[in-house]
Amino acid sequence: MNVTLKQLKILEAIISRRSYTEAAKALFMSQPAISMQIKQMEQHIGLPLFEREGKRVVATQAANELLYYAQNIRQQLDEAAQVMEELKGMQRGKLHLTMASTANYFAPQLIAAFHHEYPAAQVTLDVTNRTGLLDALDNNITDMAIMGQPPTGHNITGIPFIDNPLVVVAAPSHPLTKRAHIPLAELADEPFIVRESDSGTRIAAERFFAKHDLQLRTGMEMNRSEAIKQAVMAELGLGIVSLHTIDMELALKRLCILKVEDFPIMRQWHIVHRNGERFAAIPEAFKNFVLANAMQLINISPLKKKSKKAEKL
Protein backbone atom coordinates (compact mmCIF):
# COMPACT_ATOMS: atom_id res chain seq x y z
CA MET A 1 0.00 0.00 0.00
CA ASN A 2 1.54 3.27 -1.16
CA VAL A 3 0.44 5.84 1.46
CA THR A 4 2.66 8.69 2.58
CA LEU A 5 3.10 10.16 6.06
CA LYS A 6 1.71 13.43 4.72
CA GLN A 7 -1.46 11.70 3.60
CA LEU A 8 -1.89 10.01 6.97
CA LYS A 9 -1.54 13.40 8.64
CA ILE A 10 -4.27 14.78 6.35
CA LEU A 11 -6.47 11.80 7.18
CA GLU A 12 -6.10 12.46 10.92
CA ALA A 13 -6.91 16.14 10.49
CA ILE A 14 -10.09 15.45 8.51
CA ILE A 15 -11.33 12.78 10.93
CA SER A 16 -10.75 14.98 13.98
CA ARG A 17 -12.47 18.00 12.41
CA ARG A 18 -15.03 16.19 10.20
CA SER A 19 -14.37 18.81 7.53
CA TYR A 20 -12.07 19.15 4.56
CA THR A 21 -12.16 22.93 4.93
CA GLU A 22 -11.17 22.94 8.61
CA ALA A 23 -8.46 20.34 8.01
CA ALA A 24 -7.03 22.48 5.19
CA LYS A 25 -6.90 25.51 7.50
CA ALA A 26 -5.17 23.55 10.28
CA LEU A 27 -2.56 22.19 7.88
CA PHE A 28 -2.10 25.46 5.98
CA MET A 29 -3.15 23.80 2.73
CA SER A 30 -5.83 24.52 0.16
CA GLN A 31 -9.04 22.50 0.16
CA PRO A 32 -8.46 21.22 -3.42
CA ALA A 33 -5.04 19.95 -2.35
CA ILE A 34 -6.63 18.13 0.58
CA SER A 35 -9.25 16.57 -1.67
CA MET A 36 -6.63 15.47 -4.18
CA GLN A 37 -4.58 13.69 -1.50
CA ILE A 38 -7.64 11.82 -0.22
CA LYS A 39 -8.58 10.74 -3.75
CA GLN A 40 -5.06 9.40 -4.29
CA MET A 41 -5.29 7.42 -1.07
CA GLU A 42 -8.66 5.96 -2.03
CA GLN A 43 -7.26 4.92 -5.42
CA HIS A 44 -4.29 3.19 -3.76
CA ILE A 45 -6.34 1.25 -1.19
CA GLY A 46 -9.42 0.71 -3.39
CA LEU A 47 -11.89 1.79 -0.70
CA PRO A 48 -13.73 5.03 0.14
CA LEU A 49 -12.42 6.91 3.18
CA PHE A 50 -15.17 9.45 3.84
CA GLU A 51 -18.90 9.84 3.32
CA ARG A 52 -20.80 13.13 3.40
CA GLU A 53 -23.51 13.94 5.91
CA GLY A 54 -24.68 17.38 4.99
CA LYS A 55 -21.76 19.78 5.39
CA ARG A 56 -19.79 17.29 7.44
CA VAL A 57 -17.77 14.25 6.39
CA VAL A 58 -17.81 10.96 8.26
CA ALA A 59 -14.94 8.49 8.28
CA THR A 60 -15.60 5.06 6.87
CA GLN A 61 -14.37 1.86 8.54
CA ALA A 62 -11.37 1.90 6.21
CA ALA A 63 -10.49 5.45 7.33
CA ASN A 64 -10.77 4.51 11.00
CA GLU A 65 -8.52 1.50 10.46
CA LEU A 66 -5.96 3.72 8.76
CA LEU A 67 -6.26 6.22 11.62
CA TYR A 68 -5.31 3.50 14.12
CA TYR A 69 -2.14 2.70 12.21
CA ALA A 70 -1.41 6.37 11.57
CA GLN A 71 -1.47 7.07 15.31
CA ASN A 72 0.83 4.12 15.99
CA ILE A 73 3.22 5.31 13.32
CA ARG A 74 3.24 8.82 14.76
CA GLN A 75 3.99 7.45 18.22
CA GLN A 76 6.87 5.40 16.88
CA LEU A 77 8.25 8.42 15.04
CA ASP A 78 7.99 10.56 18.18
CA GLU A 79 9.93 7.93 20.14
CA ALA A 80 12.52 7.76 17.37
CA ALA A 81 12.86 11.55 17.44
CA GLN A 82 13.40 11.43 21.20
CA VAL A 83 16.10 8.79 20.83
CA MET A 84 17.81 10.87 18.15
CA GLU A 85 17.78 13.90 20.44
CA GLU A 86 19.33 11.82 23.20
CA LEU A 87 21.99 10.58 20.82
CA LYS A 88 22.72 14.17 19.81
CA GLY A 89 23.00 14.96 23.48
CA MET A 90 25.54 12.17 23.86
CA GLN A 91 27.61 13.78 21.15
CA ARG A 92 27.26 17.44 22.07
CA GLY A 93 26.30 17.46 25.74
CA LYS A 94 28.07 19.16 28.63
CA LEU A 95 29.62 17.86 31.83
CA HIS A 96 30.53 20.01 34.83
CA LEU A 97 32.92 18.01 36.99
CA THR A 98 34.44 19.10 40.29
CA MET A 99 37.24 17.14 41.91
CA ALA A 100 39.53 17.11 44.90
CA SER A 101 42.97 18.51 44.16
CA THR A 102 44.50 15.10 44.86
CA ALA A 103 42.29 13.49 42.20
CA ASN A 104 43.78 15.87 39.64
CA TYR A 105 46.78 13.52 39.40
CA PHE A 106 44.75 10.70 37.80
CA ALA A 107 41.40 12.13 36.70
CA PRO A 108 42.78 13.60 33.44
CA GLN A 109 43.39 10.00 32.32
CA LEU A 110 39.70 9.27 32.82
CA ILE A 111 38.59 12.46 31.07
CA ALA A 112 40.94 11.86 28.13
CA ALA A 113 39.66 8.31 27.65
CA PHE A 114 36.06 9.49 27.95
CA HIS A 115 36.71 12.30 25.45
CA HIS A 116 38.05 9.75 23.00
CA GLU A 117 34.62 8.07 22.98
CA TYR A 118 32.64 11.34 23.08
CA PRO A 119 34.86 13.84 21.27
CA ALA A 120 32.23 16.57 20.98
CA ALA A 121 31.34 16.55 24.70
CA GLN A 122 32.19 19.76 26.52
CA VAL A 123 33.81 19.16 29.91
CA THR A 124 34.20 21.90 32.51
CA LEU A 125 36.60 20.90 35.29
CA ASP A 126 36.97 22.59 38.67
CA VAL A 127 39.70 21.53 41.10
CA THR A 128 39.18 22.48 44.73
CA ASN A 129 39.49 21.29 48.33
CA ARG A 130 36.97 19.26 50.30
CA THR A 131 35.05 22.33 51.46
CA GLY A 132 34.75 23.58 47.89
CA LEU A 133 33.54 20.17 46.72
CA LEU A 134 30.75 20.03 49.26
CA ASP A 135 29.75 23.62 48.53
CA ALA A 136 29.50 22.85 44.79
CA LEU A 137 27.34 19.79 45.48
CA ASP A 138 25.13 21.44 48.09
CA ASN A 139 24.45 24.47 45.87
CA ASN A 140 23.90 22.52 42.64
CA ILE A 141 26.91 24.16 40.97
CA THR A 142 28.33 20.93 39.55
CA ASP A 143 26.95 17.75 37.98
CA MET A 144 29.14 15.48 40.09
CA ALA A 145 32.37 15.36 42.06
CA ILE A 146 35.34 13.04 42.42
CA MET A 147 36.44 12.89 46.04
CA GLY A 148 37.39 10.59 48.87
CA GLN A 149 34.92 9.48 51.53
CA PRO A 150 31.81 11.71 51.26
CA PRO A 151 30.49 12.94 54.61
CA THR A 152 27.00 12.33 55.95
CA GLY A 153 24.40 15.04 56.28
CA HIS A 154 24.81 16.62 52.85
CA ASN A 155 22.03 14.88 50.85
CA ILE A 156 24.61 13.30 48.54
CA THR A 157 25.37 9.82 47.23
CA GLY A 158 28.90 8.46 46.83
CA ILE A 159 29.76 5.51 44.58
CA PRO A 160 33.26 4.03 45.05
CA PHE A 161 35.14 3.28 41.85
CA ILE A 162 38.81 2.68 42.75
CA ASP A 163 41.10 2.27 45.75
CA ASN A 164 42.97 5.30 47.10
CA PRO A 165 45.94 4.04 49.16
CA LEU A 166 47.51 6.56 51.54
CA VAL A 167 51.22 5.95 52.11
CA VAL A 168 53.94 7.44 54.26
CA VAL A 169 56.65 9.15 52.21
CA ALA A 170 60.08 10.46 53.12
CA ALA A 171 63.07 12.04 51.43
CA PRO A 172 65.54 9.39 50.18
CA SER A 173 68.07 10.62 52.75
CA HIS A 174 65.79 9.89 55.70
CA PRO A 175 67.14 7.10 57.97
CA LEU A 176 63.81 5.25 57.98
CA THR A 177 64.05 4.56 54.24
CA LYS A 178 66.63 1.87 54.98
CA ARG A 179 64.29 -0.04 57.28
CA ALA A 180 62.41 -3.07 55.93
CA HIS A 181 59.78 -2.90 58.68
CA ILE A 182 58.85 0.13 60.74
CA PRO A 183 56.52 -0.22 63.74
CA LEU A 184 53.80 2.40 63.63
CA ALA A 185 54.69 3.57 67.14
CA GLU A 186 58.08 4.79 65.89
CA LEU A 187 56.33 7.46 63.81
CA ALA A 188 54.80 9.08 66.89
CA ASP A 189 57.91 11.24 67.34
CA GLU A 190 58.32 12.08 63.65
CA PRO A 191 57.04 15.47 62.41
CA PHE A 192 54.52 15.20 59.58
CA ILE A 193 53.74 17.67 56.83
CA VAL A 194 49.93 17.57 56.71
CA ARG A 195 46.99 18.94 54.75
CA GLU A 196 44.50 21.46 56.17
CA SER A 197 42.29 20.29 59.03
CA ASP A 198 39.19 19.57 56.91
CA SER A 199 41.09 17.63 54.24
CA GLY A 200 39.94 14.05 53.73
CA THR A 201 43.56 12.81 53.79
CA ARG A 202 44.24 14.63 57.07
CA ILE A 203 41.04 13.33 58.67
CA ALA A 204 41.82 9.74 57.61
CA ALA A 205 45.41 9.94 58.90
CA GLU A 206 44.43 11.38 62.28
CA ARG A 207 41.67 8.80 62.66
CA PHE A 208 44.12 6.02 61.76
CA PHE A 209 46.67 7.11 64.38
CA ALA A 210 43.97 7.57 67.02
CA LYS A 211 42.68 4.06 66.36
CA HIS A 212 46.15 2.80 67.26
CA ASP A 213 46.28 4.99 70.41
CA LEU A 214 48.79 7.34 68.82
CA GLN A 215 48.74 11.00 67.89
CA LEU A 216 49.83 12.35 64.54
CA ARG A 217 52.52 14.93 65.20
CA THR A 218 51.94 17.83 62.82
CA GLY A 219 54.99 19.86 61.91
CA MET A 220 53.74 22.02 59.02
CA GLU A 221 50.33 22.41 57.36
CA MET A 222 49.91 22.72 53.58
CA ASN A 223 46.78 23.11 51.45
CA ARG A 224 48.07 21.17 48.43
CA SER A 225 49.58 17.72 47.97
CA GLU A 226 52.23 19.23 45.72
CA ALA A 227 53.38 21.50 48.56
CA ILE A 228 53.57 18.53 50.93
CA LYS A 229 55.75 16.60 48.50
CA GLN A 230 58.10 19.55 48.09
CA ALA A 231 58.39 19.97 51.86
CA VAL A 232 59.11 16.27 52.34
CA MET A 233 61.76 16.34 49.62
CA ALA A 234 63.31 19.31 51.45
CA GLU A 235 63.62 17.03 54.53
CA LEU A 236 61.18 19.05 56.63
CA GLY A 237 59.32 15.95 57.78
CA LEU A 238 57.33 12.93 56.65
CA GLY A 239 54.14 13.04 54.64
CA ILE A 240 51.00 10.94 54.23
CA VAL A 241 49.80 11.22 50.66
CA SER A 242 47.75 9.35 48.10
CA LEU A 243 49.75 6.86 46.09
CA HIS A 244 48.20 8.37 42.97
CA THR A 245 50.08 11.64 43.53
CA ILE A 246 53.68 10.37 43.59
CA ASP A 247 54.30 8.41 40.39
CA MET A 248 56.85 10.89 39.06
CA GLU A 249 58.64 11.37 42.38
CA LEU A 250 59.02 7.63 42.84
CA ALA A 251 60.30 7.18 39.30
CA LEU A 252 62.85 9.98 39.76
CA LYS A 253 63.77 8.69 43.26
CA ARG A 254 62.93 11.99 44.88
CA LEU A 255 60.60 10.34 47.39
CA CYS A 256 60.49 6.93 49.05
CA ILE A 257 57.53 5.02 50.45
CA LEU A 258 58.26 3.93 54.00
CA LYS A 259 57.41 0.34 54.92
CA VAL A 260 55.30 1.18 57.94
CA GLU A 261 53.28 -1.34 59.93
CA ASP A 262 49.57 -1.41 58.97
CA PHE A 263 50.09 0.93 56.02
CA PRO A 264 48.80 1.82 53.51
CA ILE A 265 45.59 3.36 54.82
CA MET A 266 43.17 2.07 52.23
CA ARG A 267 40.51 4.55 51.24
CA GLN A 268 38.48 4.83 48.04
CA TRP A 269 37.70 7.40 45.41
CA HIS A 270 34.02 8.12 44.87
CA ILE A 271 31.80 9.59 42.20
CA VAL A 272 29.55 11.86 44.27
CA HIS A 273 26.30 13.53 43.26
CA ARG A 274 23.15 14.87 44.84
CA ASN A 275 20.58 12.32 46.01
CA GLY A 276 17.99 11.59 43.34
CA GLU A 277 19.96 13.43 40.64
CA ARG A 278 18.62 12.87 37.11
CA PHE A 279 21.54 13.34 34.74
CA ALA A 280 21.53 14.50 31.16
CA ALA A 281 23.06 12.10 28.62
CA ILE A 282 26.73 13.12 28.90
CA PRO A 283 26.99 13.23 32.74
CA GLU A 284 25.24 9.86 32.92
CA ALA A 285 27.61 8.47 30.29
CA PHE A 286 30.65 9.78 32.19
CA LYS A 287 29.52 8.23 35.47
CA ASN A 288 28.96 4.86 33.82
CA PHE A 289 32.26 5.15 31.95
CA VAL A 290 34.23 5.77 35.15
CA LEU A 291 32.56 2.93 37.03
CA ALA A 292 33.23 0.53 34.16
CA ASN A 293 36.77 1.57 33.19
CA ALA A 294 38.60 3.23 36.08
CA MET A 295 40.28 0.03 37.27
CA GLN A 296 41.83 -0.52 33.85
CA LEU A 297 42.82 3.11 33.27
CA ILE A 298 44.36 3.97 36.63
CA ASN A 299 47.45 2.08 37.70
CA ILE A 300 48.15 1.51 41.40
CA SER A 301 50.52 -1.43 40.91
CA PRO A 302 53.23 -0.41 43.46
CA LEU A 303 50.97 -1.53 46.30
CA LYS A 304 48.81 -4.07 44.49
CA LYS A 305 49.82 -6.97 46.71
CA LYS A 306 49.80 -5.06 49.97
CA SER A 307 46.48 -3.33 49.40
CA LYS A 308 44.49 -6.48 50.15
CA LYS A 309 45.82 -6.45 53.71
CA ALA A 310 45.55 -2.72 54.18
CA GLU A 311 43.32 -1.33 56.86
CA LYS A 312 40.19 0.41 55.62
CA LEU A 313 38.94 3.64 57.15
For a pLDDT cut of 90, what percent of the chain falls above it?
57
Of the listed ranges 23-27, 255-259, 301-305, 306-310, the one predicted with least confidence = 306-310
- Residue 63: CATH number of its domain: 1.10.10.10
Residue 61 and residue 115 share a domain: no
Q: Identify whether residues 34 and 112 lie together within a single domain.
A: no
114-128 per-position pLDDT tens digit: 999 888 888 999 998
Q: What is the pLDDT of residues 66-110, one digit of tens each?
A: 999 988 898 888 777 766 766 666 666 789 999 988 888 888 889
Name the domain boundary from 90, 109, 134.
90
Range of the domain at 58: 5-90
Instruction: Tell me how many domains the chain contains.
Output: 2
Residues 80 and 104 in one domain: no
DSSP string covering the chain: ----HHHHHHHHHHHHHT-HHHHHHHTT--HHHHHHHHHHHHHHHTS--EEEETTEEEE-HHHHHHHHHHHHHHHHHHHHHHHHHHHHHHHH-EEEEEEEGGGGGTHHHHHHHHHHHSTT-EEEEEEE-HHHHHHHHHTT-SSEEEESSPPSSSSEEEEEEEEEEEEEEE-TTSGGGG-S-B-GGGGGGS-EEEE-TT-HHHHHHHHHHHHTT----EEEEESSHHHHHHHHHTTS-EEEEEGGG-HHHHHTTS-EE--BTTPSEEEEEEEEEETT----HHHHHHHHHHHHHHHHHS--GGGTTTGGGSEE-
What is the pLDDT at residue 197?
A: 85
Where is the domain boundary, 90, 107, 142?
Answer: 90
The confidence score (pLDDT) of residue 11 equals 92
> Do residues 36 and 147 both lie within one domain?
no
Mean pLDDT of the chain: 87
Q: Are residues 49 and 166 in the same domain?
A: no
Q: Are residues 156 and 64 in the same domain?
A: no
Q: What is the pLDDT of residue 89?
A: 60
**In a shared domain, residues 125 and 255:** yes
Q: Are 243 and 117 members of one domain?
A: yes
CATH code, 216:
3.40.190.290
Residues 124 and 23 in one domain: no
**Domain-terminating residue out of 90, 106, 124:** 90
